[in-house]
Amino acid sequence: AEGTAGPAALMVATYYCNALHASWWREKSKSGGQVVEQIIHLFDLARYLLGEPRTVYARQDNLFHRDVPGYTVEDVSCTTITFASGALASISATNNAIPGRWLARFDVVTRNLTAFFSDINRAVFVHTDRPGNPEETIDSNRDVFREEALDLIRAILEDRPTRTPLREGALSLDLVLAAEHSAREGREIVLSGSAGPVRDVAAR
């Protein structure tokens, strides 16, 4: 979009998988649950695209694995996030979709662009500010996980900060923990701001 997309106002994301994972992953007391351990990456992306969150409301349940011994994490979840700009994000996940497939998809709506990401490397950009709403296809085979690892290694070898400060990871962790808090208590949680953890407030 070359900087012409305008401000982002909406992100809708889903994460689908179907696996028992490791024994520690299935225990909420050890992994924190699917949202905390796995879906956090979509929450992190929402922060990157939409800014700092102000409120979060989540629902979670284990509907498909109650008969699996030791399976105490959620296997369905929906989270709605409101950001300081007024932008909104909806993030849904399940661990009972297609076995052997890991599907992370998200759509983003900005002032001048609607983007449909089928994964982190593939997307269709629709330029809604241009006559005929022309489409632009993004298709890459870039190994983003390798890039992350190389940046960390180079930061250590060159004694420099990583491209993304570690603090950003902590802020995204605050957000998923707030979602967990919301799901547990069944109410919206108001965040204290980008520099701090959840502020416990009464339900609205």
DSSP class per residue in 64-99:
S-TTSTT--S-SEEEEEEEETTS-EEEEEEESSSST
Domain count for the chain, please give it. 1
Q: What is the pLDDT along the chain (204 residues), one digit of tens a residue?
A: 447 899 999 999 999 999 999 999 999 999 999 999 999 999 999 999 999 999 999 999 999 999 999 999 999 999 999 999 999 999 999 999 999 999 999 999 999 999 999 999 999 999 999 999 999 999 999 999 999 999 999 999 999 999 999 899 999 999 999 999 999 999 999 998 654 444 443 333
Asked if residue 197 is part of any domain, the answer here is: no
Asked if residue 192 is part of any domain, the answer here is: no
**Residue 140 · residue 121 · CB < 8 Å:** yes
Helix (H) or strand (E) holding 199, with range, is strand 198-199
Give the C-alpha separation, 191 to 32, whole Å.
19
51 lies in which domain range? 8-187
Look up the CATH number of the domain holding residue 76. 3.30.360.10
pLDDT value at position 183? 98
Asked if residue 30 is part of any domain, the answer here is: yes
